[in-house]
Amino acid sequence: MVDLRRFLIRRLITFIPTLIGATLLVYFVAAVVPGNPAKLWAGGEKASAEVVQRIIEEYKLDEPWYVQYYYFMKMLLTGKAISPVTHTNVWAEVLDRFKTVTLPLTMLSFMFIILIGIPLGIISAIKKDTVVDMILRIFALTGISMPIFWLAYLLIAALTGKGLVTLAGFPMPAYSITGIPLIDGLLKGDFEYLSQLLKRLWLPSLLLSYAGIGVLVRLVRNSFLDAYSSDFVEFMLARGFPRRRIYIHVLRNALAPIVTVLGLQFGGLLAGAVITETIFGLPGMGSYMIRAINNFDYLSLMAGVLYVAIIFMVVNLVVDILYAIIDPRVRY
Amino acid sequence: MKANRCRNPIIVVDDLYVNFYTYAGVVKAIDGVSFCIERGETYCLVGETGCGKSVTSRALTRLILPPGKIERGRILYYPEPGKVVDIMKLSEEELRMIRGDEITYIFQDPGTALDPLYTIGYQISETMLVHGYINKIRKGVSRAIQLLKETLIPDPEQRIKSYPHELSGGMKQRAVIATSLANRPRLIIADEPTTALDATVQAQIMELLRNLKKKRGLTILLITHNMGLVAEMCDRVGVMYAGQLVEEAPTEELFRNPLHPYTRALLRAVPNPLRRIEKLESIPGTVPNLIYPPAGCRFHPRCAHVMDTCKRQKPELTRIGNKHYVSCWLYSRR
């Protein structure tokens, strides 16, 4: 336990330079892009010089880069960052999009990835080199290589008329417990609302997960087969273990790379799904970032990048802790 | 049945053929092997790497994984005198119930035989669980401790909580032996159990097997290429070459009076415990490719006494002396 605490503290300290690096990088890339953000923020070509001047002063755009960066970070870290474009608090918007769209979308997609990807990968491995395996491998490869927008429009066309999918608006419950609609609906047992929400989200989640499922099927298949060729499997057969029991041992031995990739996929989903959000008109983190980029909205962009960086660092930390739970040979 | 040379056999193998279907071609790994193991004895199979010792031993419970396949042959298992089980006719499930219960294996490399992610105690208990002797892993703990005691592992109460990587090679092999004793073994098949261990540990493990055999009344099939071990451990020896059993004799008889040219060459190539040799010799030529094995006697291309018949016809295993059998045209009275 002491080891775990020392490990956590050590890792948390490494978070700080990583965050500074990520935001600094984004700040530079954004600041280097030619254009006059103050004018843009003030309303474009027709903006009055007075307003432009006020914005320059307010956001310290005439100061050297390190002052500006420091000032931006201070605003972000004290939670007082007001976007010059939307005139709202950037964190409030990130939190709102995270809670209503990105988190439910991520949870559903991740559920699909795990519930479909892992079993299909195992079946593919057990039925290696049979017709079943071949079909599953084609299915997986399709998921990895098919453009999501193509399949999305195909399915939308096929399904909308049947009342299985809704595309417009975003249903919000009348109550708020955690602020996350999916969880609130579950907590209340409000199935009418949940069915509305699922109608809105199941198709984008499934499509969003398809590429992840493809990756996972292939990965699970290969690491399962890899673990299956270990000597201990033959020794289990020699000890008269039933197949099912052997598969459990093999799966646990195959789990380390699977958990790594699942962690990255989970982080990727939380970082937002630009294409899926655009196709289905969902206001999530992906469209937030795109809007920030298009509007030269450095502050919103830096908030988004901070958010994504923190997500990935936490996910990787969790994955590292999971390694030690899976494999007793791993020590912190 | 020609194979039954035993009075009270525990296992009889008759005319066994095993092939491996590889991309390069069909490997005829076992070619008409017949032998039997007397209840309570230690029977040794010796031969070079790749001669089919391990495959033969695994075939005893049909533990041949694809692309391998038992082509034909009979394998009879006698759990008790007078009671016979035809291994070739058993279902997968019936075989599973014999493997690890009545017929158990000890593999060559204890470092890879155990699952690295589970404790020793868990894996010993699991061996009992899958045969229905306990219904929960936890209930196997006390028996697992007792088994570790029996295999002379120090501090067994602590060791059952250890993971394989926390034990030395010798300790791991003792834990493997403990799993093979977990149920009610009658025949233990030890497939080069000490090859991966150093010499002192090797002696300890063999001593342990000898004592366990005496105490529990076991039968042991020992597979080895170490002639020293053969001399030390075995009652009878079968010599294999390229998938065929070329000679079989009681241990002392084999060392004193080897008949088959291969056995003779083999004994000249290792220090003989019974007589002094000036110089260790090697056997000319190489082990044949078993995809295209030599016709007739598979040893004929390397044999100093090769005759015309050897190239055309496979010699039968013939009785020469008391319990001494050889398959070689030099000795066949035809």
ipTM here:
0.90
Instruction: Compute the distance between CA of residue B2 and CA of residue B264 in angstroms, rounded to an integer.
Output: 25
User: Which is more confident, A251 or A194?
Assistant: A251
Domain boundary, last residue among A77, A100, A118: A77
Residue B127: per-residue pLDDT: 93
| Cα separation, B258 vs B249, whole angstroms | 9
Look at residue B272 in the predicted model and tell me its pLDDT: 66
- Angle formed by the axes of helices A65-77 and A298-326, nearest 10°: 60
Same domain, B156 and B191: no
Q: Are residues B25 and B93 in the same domain?
A: yes
Look at residue B296 and tell me whether its pLDDT is greater than 70.
yes
- Domain span at residue A126? 91-170+201-326
Residue B103 dihedral angles phi and psi, to the nearest 5°: -115, 120
Residue A69 has pLDDT above 90, yes or no: no
Determine contact, residues A160/A257, Cβ cutoff 8 Å: no
Q: Is residue A65 part of a domain?
A: yes
Are residues A96 and A242 located together in one domain of the fold?
Answer: yes
Residue B35 forms part of a structural domain? yes
Q: What is the pLDDT of residue A110?
A: 95
Task: Note whether A146 and A234 are same-domain residues.
Answer: yes
- Interchain pair B105, A239: CB under 8 A: yes
What is the pLDDT at residue A113? 95
Polymer length in residues for chain A: 332
Q: Where does a domain end: A20, A54, A77?
A: A77
A241–B63 C-beta distance less than 8 A = no
Which among A232, A245, A327 has the least Cβ separation from residue B112? A232
The alpha carbon dihedral of A213, A218, A223, A229 has a sign of: positive
Tell me if residue B285 falls in helix, strand or coil.
coil
Are A252 and B96 inside 8 Å of each other by CB?
Answer: no
Residue with tokens 């004929």: B300
Residue A244 forms contact with B (CB below 8 Å) = no
Give the per-residue pLDDT at B273.
Answer: 62
How far is B285 from chain A, CA to nearest CA, in Å?
32
Question: Residues B295-304: what's their mean pLDDT?
Answer: 86
In a 3-state reduction of DSSP, which class is residue A270? helix
How far off is chain A from B238, nearest CA to CA, in Å? 23
Q: Looking at beta carbons, which residues of chain A come within 8 Å of B65?
A: 234, 237
CATH number of the domain encompassing residue A149: 1.10.3720.10
Tell which of A43, A77, A111 closes a domain: A77
Nearest to A230 among B61, B112, B131 (CB): B112
Chain B contact probe: residue of A228, A235, A329, A331 with most B CBs at under 10 A: A235
**Distance (Å) of CA A276 to CA A105, A147, A191, A304, B318:** 10, 11, 25, 18, 78
Tell me how far apart the alpha carbons of residues A130 and A147 are, in angstroms, rounded to a whole number.
28
Rounded CA gap, B263 and B98, in Å?
34
Comparing CA positions, the residue from A205, A208, A222 lying closest to residue A258 is: A222
Count the residues in chain B.
Answer: 334
Segment B76-122, tens digit of pLDDT: 999 988 888 999 999 999 999 999 999 999 998 888 999 999 999 99
Selection from A155-159, A199-203, A209-213, B302-306 with the highest mean pLDDT: A209-213
Decide which of A52 and B42 is more confident.
Answer: B42
pLDDT digits (tens, 9 = 90+) for A218-261: 999 999 999 999 999 999 999 999 999 999 999 999 998 999 99
- Token pair for residue A160? 């909308």
Q: How far is B248 from chain A (nearest CA, A)?
A: 27
Residues A164, A237, single domain; the answer is yes
The whole-angstrom distance between A242's CA and the closest CA on chain B is 7
pLDDT value for B274: 65
pLDDT at B3: 52
pLDDT of residue A152: 87
Contact A220, A121 (CB under 8 A): yes
Query: By residue range, what is the domain housing residue B24?
Result: 9-102+185-297+307-326
**Domain co-membership, A161 together with A274:** yes
A238 contacts in B (CB within 8 Å)?
58, 61, 63, 99-100, 104-105, 107
Question: For residue A224, what are the contacts with CB-CB under 8 A and spacing of at least 6?
Answer: A121, A122, A125, A126, A250, A251, A254
What mean pLDDT is predicted for residues A286-306? Answer: 87
Q: Distance between CA B48 and CA B286 in Å, rounded?
A: 11
Q: Quick check: A141 and A120 in contact, CB under 8 A?
A: no
What torsion, rounded to 10 degrees, do the Cα atoms A224, A230, A233, A239 define? -170
Among residues B162, B183, B204, the one where a domain terminates is B183
All residues of chain B having their beta carbon less than 8 Å from the beta carbon of residue A234 are 63, 65, 107
- Nearest CB to B99; choose among A231, A239, A329: A239
Q: Does B104 touch chain A (CB under 8 A)?
A: yes
Q: What is the pLDDT of residues A249-278, one digit of tens each?
A: 999 999 989 999 999 999 999 988 889 888
User: For residue A85, is it within any domain?
Assistant: no
Question: What pairs with residue B240 in β-bridges?
Answer: B245
Residues B175 and B317 in one domain: no
B114 DSSP 8-state letter: S
Tell me the C-alpha distance between B179 and B130, whole Å. 12
Domain identity same for B127 and B207: no
Which of chain A's residues have a Cβ under 8 Å away from the Cβ of B112?
230-232
Partnered with residue B318 across adjacent β-strands are B326
Contacts of B223 by beta carbon, 8 Å cutoff, 6+ apart: B44, B45, B46, B53, B54, B57, B189, B190, B191, B192
Option in B61, B112, B130 nearest A245 (CB): B130
**B223 forms bridges with which residues in the sheet?**
B45, B191
**Statement to judge: residues A61 and A120 lie in one domain:** no
Note the pLDDT tens digit of each residue in B177-235: 999 999 899 999 999 888 888 888 888 889 899 999 999 889 999 999 888 888 888 99
What is the distance between the alpha carbons of residues A140 and A212, in angstroms, rounded to a whole number?
Answer: 9
Domain count within chain A = 2
Using CA coordinates, name the residue in chain B closest to A330. Answer: B117
Alpha carbon A233 to chain centroid distance? 36
Helix (H) or strand (E) holding B9: strand B9-22
Cα atoms found within 13 Å of the Cα of residue A329, Cβ hemisphere only: 10
- Are B61 and B207 contained in the same domain? yes
> CB contact, 8 Å: B97 with chain A?
yes
Please check whether residue A178 lies inside any domain of the structure. no
| B100 close to A (CB below 8 A) | yes
For B289-319, the DSSP string reads PTTSPPSSSTTGGG-TT--HHHHHSPPPPEE
Residues B142 and B65 grouped into a single domain? no
User: Do residues B211 and B92 share a domain?
Assistant: yes
- Chain B residue with CA closest to A256: the answer is B117
Residue A302 has pLDDT above 80, yes or no: yes
State both tokens at B86: 């035809």
> Are A243 and A130 found together in one domain?
yes
Q: Are A242 and B96 inside 8 Å of each other by CB? A: yes
Given B183, B218, B239, which residue is the final one in a domain?
B183
The DSSP bridge pattern shows strands B244-250 and B324-326 to be antiparallel
If asked whether residues B56 and B24 sit together in one domain, one would say yes
**What is the tally of structural domains in chain B?**
2
Residue A284 covered by a domain: yes
- Distance in angstroms (rounded) separating the CA atoms of residues A71 and A86: 19
State the nearest Cα–Cα gap between B234 and chain A, in angstroms: 23
Helix (H/G/I), strand (E/B), else coil: B5: coil
**pLDDT confidence of residue B285:** 80
Q: Which of A46-55, A177-186, B309-318 has the highest mean pLDDT?
A: B309-318
Reply yes or no on whether the pLDDT at B42 is more than 50: yes
Residue B103 and residue B180 in contact, taking contact as beta carbons nearer than 8 Å = no
- Confidence class of residue B4 from pLDDT cuts 50, 70 and 90? low
Alpha carbon of A154 to those of A127, A157, A207, B303: distances in Å? 31, 5, 11, 74
| Within a domain: A189 | no
Q: Which residues of A87-100 are buried (b: 16+ CB within 10 A; e: fewer)?
A: eebbbebbeebbbb
Residue B331 lies in a domain: no
Q: How confident is the model at residue A198 (pLDDT cuts 50, 70, 90)?
A: confident
Shared domain check, A109 and A72: no
Which pLDDT belongs to residue B1? Answer: 47
Q: Which of A184-188, B58-62, B132-136 has the lowest mean pLDDT?
A: A184-188
Distance CA B147, CA A331 (A): 29
Regarding whether B316 and B242 lie in a shared domain, the answer is yes
Q: Are residues B64 and B32 in the same domain?
A: yes
Are the C-beta atoms of A55 and A41 separated by less than 8 Å? yes
Residue with tokens 């490869």: A141
- The pLDDT tens digits of the residues spanning A130-178 come to 999 999 999 999 999 988 888 888 888 888 777 777 777 777 877 777 8
Asked if residue B256 has pLDDT above 60, the reply is yes
Residues of A in contact with B172 (CB under 8 A): none
CA pair distance A267, A312, nearest whole angstrom: 5
